[in-house]
Structure 1
């Protein structure tokens, strides 16, 4: 797959996942072997990943996710995206694999914004690389943070040391039922200015 095609067609897929086709650990690990080549602040390589394929654990995570999603979407105006998000929440445990992306360390109340930006800036490029690698293998993914309303409970469930590790996002992974074209996006020219801020 050409990089331009991968970059324009890797999008959040919540409803178009084949819930019956298993995803092997081997293919997830292939994608992670590529993901860990992403840039990371100070070369620390302090991301950590937890793959979840145990049905009982997926169900438990999904229960927390549903509770958080219901609160999050309670007052959202109707839209295709909202319905898609609700579908994911209702079916999360049916997704073959959930990948939890974490980073070592936790934010303190006095932490400088630059440190916080560095933490997430060290994690999310690896997550995006994982998603691109997954796309090249016919897998659909979605980047979601809804579960973080129950971060401590999920940490306890999975044995993650909450005081030492920050969960960054959850990525549901399954084979796509069909290929997706480029997502509708505003033209780059509409959101770009040079030398001065010129946005409304």
Structure 2
């Protein structure tokens, strides 16, 4: 793939994750090695990566995720309830809603769960510039997802489990000063039809020099 093809076809994969095909740990490590080339604030490189492959551990994390997702799916902000006044977009949102529910029921069966984390040196996150804080791990997490795509793996960016972050921290034995940024289910995917997704025209969201 060209860089443009990679960047425009790296989709959120939920229903098409292959739950039966093992993913070699070396392949995950290869993608993470690419991810470590991403920038971080002041080059601190305070990221940490938890890769969960043990079936029991995956099932436990998956159960927490399912609990969090149940509350999300019944909320007013759930994907299927957005843009209800736009028939064409509502159809897409309902498909997203259904795929979120599908993954929630099977999260614990995904062969690899990758959890990017930040080690901050304190149990409580500092007040103030949260963008600067998370900007030191999120680019690397996205680089992991792009690398995984280039190696034939599908991923999904999820954060719903953070409602119960402490429970997942207990399952994984995380120190108090390690904070989770996301949960990225990772597996081989089925099918080959990934393509650019419908998006708003650039001119509708672009502001040059001033908002208006």
Q: TM-score with structure 2 length normalisation?
A: 0.88
Shift of 1:107: 7.7
Measure the CA separation in 1 of the matches of 2:157 and 2:36: 17
Match of 1:82, SS state, is helix
Pair 1:91-2:106 in alignment:
yes
Measure the CA separation in 1 of the matches of 2:22 and 2:98: 25
Unaligned runs of 5+ residues in structure 1 are none
Measure the CA separation in 2 of the matches of 1:17 and 1:80: 16
Task: Tell me the C-alpha RMSD between the 2 structures.
Answer: 1.4
Out of 172, 186, 198, the residue aligned to residue 158 of structure 1 is: 172
Unaligned runs of 5+ residues in structure 2 are 82-92
Out of 111, 115, 120, the residue aligned to residue 100 of structure 1 is: 115
Measure the CA separation in 1 of the matches of 2:149 and 2:21: 16
Pair 1:125-2:139 in alignment:
yes
For residues 149-200 of structure 1, the C-alpha deviation after alignment (integer angstroms, 9 at most, x for no partner) is 11011111111013x01100000001110121112211222111101113xx
Of 74-83 and 43-52, deviating more is: 74-83
Q: Which runs of 4+ in 1 moved over 6 A?
A: none
For residues 32-74 of structure 1, the C-alpha deviation after alignment (integer angstroms, 9 at most, x for no partner) is 0000000000000011000001000000001100100000111
Q: Partner residue of 2:181?
A: 168
Match of 1:169, SS state, is coil
**Conserved? CA contact 2:123–2:178, under 8 Å:** no
Pair 1:185-2:199 in alignment:
yes
Measure the CA separation in 2 of the matches of 1:69 and 1:49: 23
Measure the CA separation in 1 of the matches of 2:68 and 2:49: 22
Q: Partner residue of 1:35?
A: 35
Pair 1:82-2:97 in alignment:
yes
How many residue pairs were aligned? 195
Pair 1:46-2:46 in alignment:
yes
Q: Partner residue of 1:4?
A: 4
Q: Partner residue of 1:111?
A: 127
